[in-house]
Amino acid sequence: MDRNIGILTAGGDSPGLNAAIRGIGKAAHRTYGMNVIGFRDGFRGLMQNRTIRLDGSTLSGILTAGGTILGTSRDKPHKMPVGGRTMDMTDLMVENYHANHLDALVCLGGGGTQKNALHLAKAGLRVLTLPKTIDNDVAMTDVTFGYDTALTIATETIDRLHSTAHSHHRIVVVEVMGHNAGWLALGSGLAGGADVILIPEIRYDLERVSQAVIERRQAGSTFSIIAVSEGALSREQADNLDRWKTRKKNAANEYELRKATLKLEKARQEQAEHTHRLARKLEDLTRLESRVTILGHVQRGGVPSPGDRVLATRLGSACARYIDKGIHGVMVAARGEGTEPVPLEEVAGRRKTVPLDHPWIRSARSLGIGFGD
């Protein structure tokens, strides 16, 4: 009897998605005799039953391609915009799963996708996931595919900015992705020779950051490179956010709730613009010209690195093997050079942040790299 599996990609795009699709598809078909289909545009495609057959011709030539041939979206099964309303479309997804006679559904994505996959698993579907995100913040896996490529792009950017910073005696502030975890800034800052690294896990003091720049100048260095996670916060910003979150939670009446909501929105807007604000304040404190480079979505694009291709391929092929063994309700995690099926209950809702005693942080501190603390 034929066995059928479905694949979808959800959340933000990431280098290595096509390599993972190829790894799952080729291993499932060639080694285990399975038929493979893809659902277009994430969970919305599953809801609308928009499919594509993932056979040899479709999977050919995609190993080095960026993005995802299936398309992606951030839609949630139980909170999906449909016709101007937000609706729970779980039942329809379950119906389409069975209409395609699927033995398993593989969801490729980050933290949000792990939660959505667990939701479908609880609805009775046989679901497996692969950990994807350039932020490297999915719990219970050594690493996520997409991170190595983004790390390379961020490091190469810092490499290139050294020459212009040195030539013009500037402070160059480089913002990389990482709203809740600082793996990208930490890794690229360490690899690229940044002088200060600011990450969400360590609240920074602006005076200490400026003092680090001044001390470099006094020691004869005429420029400084600062690598910043998009989610990094000063102690003042963090305290402000926490204060208004608490006031909103404990609001005694409509007036207090409205005031706290507006203040919290303002604080979050300031957080979104924190890199430019940081650069302006450093100019005032150090009397050195500063420039900001924000990498943004360029970190997601382009050809995946060899490391990400290998990782995505071995996770994908392992996924097909687990399906053949009847294993489901798990994320296929990277463990050393191998893999491990981790129950989705242990992954969903958790985030892997940078431990404050991580060896990379210890190495950085021993080199004199500051964290603003």
Does the annotation mark 142 as catalytic? no
Strand partners for 7: 38, 106
Instruction: Give the contacts of 238 (CB within 8 A, at least 6 positions apart).
Output: 203
Distances (CA, A) of 81 to 47, 75, 119, 368: 11, 8, 17, 50
Q: Report residue 157 as tokens.
A: 């950017």
**Candidate list 13, 41, 103, 135, residue with the active-site label:** 135
Q: Please say whether the beta carbons of 36 and 101 come within 8 A.
A: no
Distances (CA, A) of 280 to 119, 162, 211: 45, 20, 15
234 three-class SS: strand
Question: What type of residue is 166?
Answer: H
The string over 74-110, giving b where at least 16 C-beta atoms fall within 10 Å of a residue's C-beta and e elsewhere, is ebbbeebeeeeeeeebbebbbebbeebebbbbbbbbb
SS (H, E, C) 20-78: HHHHHHHHHHHHCCEEEEEECCHHHHHHHCCEEECCHHHHCCCCCCCCCCCCCCCCECC
- Neighbouring CB atoms inside 10 A of 363's CB total 11
Q: Please say whether the beta carbons of 132 and 11 come within 8 A.
A: yes
**What length is written for the chain?**
373
**Residues annotated as part of the active site:** 135
